[in-house]
């Protein structure tokens, strides 16, 4: 038969005192006389009270590879969100920047090289697999925030770009758009996935997928955009991989005497601070970064508590933010 644990409330009821007074006495706090404190401690021992053990604070290492000189509002929000989530869990944590050369040379982070011991590690961004494995040899519990790759066999939290692409394309279709293009880094995995979402929305709505309207934001992509403008074959709307891509595209269109959204509608992604300051203000996708950071920390703590559980890949859905860069046809 399970024996019921004696609580502070039980002691308080037995002595005719308030639970606050009993708690202060057992915690050796001020605000109560030494005589009463001694009686409470003695009564607690008689009743078999066992003081709960204080939970050990988890020790977490946070590694990122984005220099602050390349800062943008989303990166700042991400770092702040991780810190707030760790603080809420009363975690001891350290944050380090690792450049690509450090990873390529397989140099340990500073604190690991000095013998610091951690219960878990958060990697923010895309790290190469060999370096992630090196870190995982020293810190068993590892999770990625963003930078997802299908090659990773670790816990990860990232943003569902396939859902974002589908959602943005469907938003345009519902507003009468049938010729829809994409602008961004087409080599990046996240954008390959995003294009899949766009293509799915087009096909499900019986619309053609015109590959000539999908272009990379490199030198060849700029030439391709100019040709679309010159041949008057622009789509009625572009979905961009990032707010900055969208703003640059708006500037390019304006240089060719075209306006947004009257001539072409533009959608961004990220809901960065600049998206609201754009002319016109940019319709975009909010990544729900605050929630993503809390999901990272809670998933890592679950991993620490259960190291042998299967790996989890958590994809956070984005939220559409409507502004003035899209017109209804």
What would the DSSP string read from start to end of 201-249?
A: HHHHTT----GGGEEESSHHHHHHHHHHHHTT---SEEEESSHHHHHHH
**278 and 183 assigned to the same domain:** yes
In a domain, 322, yes or no: no
Same domain? For 149 and 238 the reply is no
Domain membership flag for residue 255? yes
pTM: 0.79
Highest mean pLDDT among 68-77, 196-205, 244-253: 196-205
SS (H, E, C) 38-95: HHHHHHHHHHCCCCCCCCCCCEEEEEECCCHHHCCHHHHHHHHHHHHHHHHCCCEEEE
Q: Is there a single domain that holds both residue 304 and residue 232?
A: no
Identify whether the C-beta of residue 245 lies closer than 8 Å to the C-beta of residue 218.
Answer: no
Read off the pLDDT of each residue in 250-277 and give the average, rounded to a whole number. 93
Q: Looking at residue 194, which CATH number applies to its domain?
A: 3.40.50.2300
- Whether residues 185 and 269 share a domain: the answer is yes
pLDDT of 123 over the 90 cut: yes
- 12 with 127, same domain? no
What whole-number distance in Å separates Cα of residue 299 and Cα of residue 295?
6
Q: For 160-171, how does the pLDDT look when each residue is reduced to its tens digit (9 = 90+)?
A: 999 999 999 999
By residue range, what is the domain housing residue 25? 8-47
Whether the predicted pLDDT of 80 surpasses 60: yes
Name the least confident of 130-134, 146-150, 245-249, 285-289.
146-150
pLDDT at 218 over 90: no
Q: How confident is the model at residue 92 (pLDDT cuts 50, 70, 90)?
A: very high
What is the structure's pLDDT at 151?
83
Are 145 and 294 in the same domain?
yes
pLDDT at 72: 61
pLDDT tens, position by position, 33-42 = 888 998 999 9
Residue 326 lies in a domain: no
Looking at the predicted structure, is the pLDDT value of residue 88 above 60?
Answer: yes
2 lies in a domain?
A: no
Asked, for residue 53, whether it belongs to a domain, the answer is: no
Domain-located, residue 329: no
Nearest residue to 138 (alpha-carbon basis) of 120, 155, 154, 153: 120
Looking at the structure, do residues 282 and 211 belong to the same domain, yes or no? yes
pLDDT over 90 (residue 75): no
Q: What is the mean pLDDT of residues 79-85?
A: 95
Count of domains observed in the chain: 3
The pLDDT of residue 67: 64
Q: How far apart are CA 295 and CA 164, in angstroms?
A: 19
Residue 68 has pLDDT above 70, yes or no: no
Task: Compute CA distances 162 → 11, 196, 197, 314, whole Å.
Answer: 57, 6, 4, 13
**What is the pLDDT averaged over residues 48-54?**
78
Indicate whether 297 and 156 sit together in one domain. Answer: yes
All residues at 6 or more sequence positions from 107 whose CB lies less than 8 Å from its CB, including other chains: 113
Q: What is the mean pLDDT of residues 134-148?
A: 93
What pLDDT, on the 0 to 100 scale, is given for residue 238?
A: 97
Residues 154 and 300 placed together within one structural domain of the fold? yes
b vs e for 223-261, b when ≥16 Cβ sit within 10 Å of the residue's Cβ? ebbeebbeeeebbbbbbbbbbbbbbebbeebeeeeeebb
CA 67 → CA 70, 104, 129, 206, distances in Å? 5, 17, 20, 44
Is the pLDDT at 249 greater than 80? The verdict is yes
Q: Worst-scoring range by mean pLDDT, 22-36, 247-261, 268-282, 313-327? A: 22-36
**What's residue 234's pLDDT?**
92
Average pLDDT over residues 123-147: 93
> pLDDT tens-digit profile of 175-217?
999 999 999 999 988 999 999 999 999 999 999 999 999 988 8
Q: Calculate mean pLDDT across residues 248-274.
A: 94
Residues 192 and 233 reside in one and the same domain: yes
On whether both 265 and 170 belong to a single domain, the answer is yes
State the average pLDDT over residues 94-104. 92
Tell whether 177 is covered by a domain: yes
Residue 319, SS3? strand
For the cut 50, the answer to whether the pLDDT of residue 1 exceeds it is no
**For 278-292, what is the mean pLDDT?**
96
Determine, yes or no, domain membership for 299: yes
The answer on 269 and 209 residing in a single domain is yes
pLDDT at 224: 82
């Amino acid at each position: 038969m399970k024996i019921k644990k004696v609580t502070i409330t039980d002691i308080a009821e037995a002595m005719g005192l308030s639970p606050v007074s009993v708690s202060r006495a057992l915690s050796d706090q001020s605000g109560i006389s030494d005589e009463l404190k001694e009686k409470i401690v003695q009564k607690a021992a008689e009743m078999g009270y066992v003081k709960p053990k204080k939970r050990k604070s988890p020790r977490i290492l946070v590694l990122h590879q984005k220099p602050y000189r390349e800062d943008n509002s989303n990166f700042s929000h991400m770092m702040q969100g991780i810190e707030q989530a760790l603080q809420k869990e009363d975690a001891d944590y350290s944050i380090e920047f690792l450049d690509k050369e450090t990873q390529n040379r397989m140099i340990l982070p500073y604190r690991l090289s000095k013998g610091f011991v951690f219960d878990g590690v958060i990697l923010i961004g895309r790290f190469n697999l060999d370096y992630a494995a090196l870190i995982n040899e020293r810190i068993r519990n590892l999770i990625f925030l963003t930078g997802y790759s299908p090659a990773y066999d670790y816990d990860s939290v990232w943003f569902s770009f396939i859902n974002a692409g589908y959602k943005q394309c469907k938003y345009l279709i519902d507003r009468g758009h049938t010729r829809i293009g994409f602008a961004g880094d087409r080599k990046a995995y996240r954008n390959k996935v995003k294009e899949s979402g766009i293509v799915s929305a087009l096909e499900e709505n019986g619309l053609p997928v015109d590959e000539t309207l999908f272009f990379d934001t490199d030198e060849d992509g700029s030439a391709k955009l100019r040709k679309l403008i010159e041949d008057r074959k622009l789509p009625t709307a572009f979905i961009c991989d990032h707010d900055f891509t969208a703003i640059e595209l708006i500037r390019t269109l304006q240089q060719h005497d075209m306006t947004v959204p009257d001539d072409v509608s533009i959608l961004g992604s990220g809901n960065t601070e600049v998206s609201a300051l754009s002319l016109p203000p940019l319709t975009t996708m909010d990544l729900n970064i605050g929630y993503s950071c809390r999901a990272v920390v809670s998933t890592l703590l679950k991993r620490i508590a259960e190291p042998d559980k299967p790996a989890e890949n958590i994809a956070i859905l984005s939220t559409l933010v409507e502004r003035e860069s899209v017109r209804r046809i």
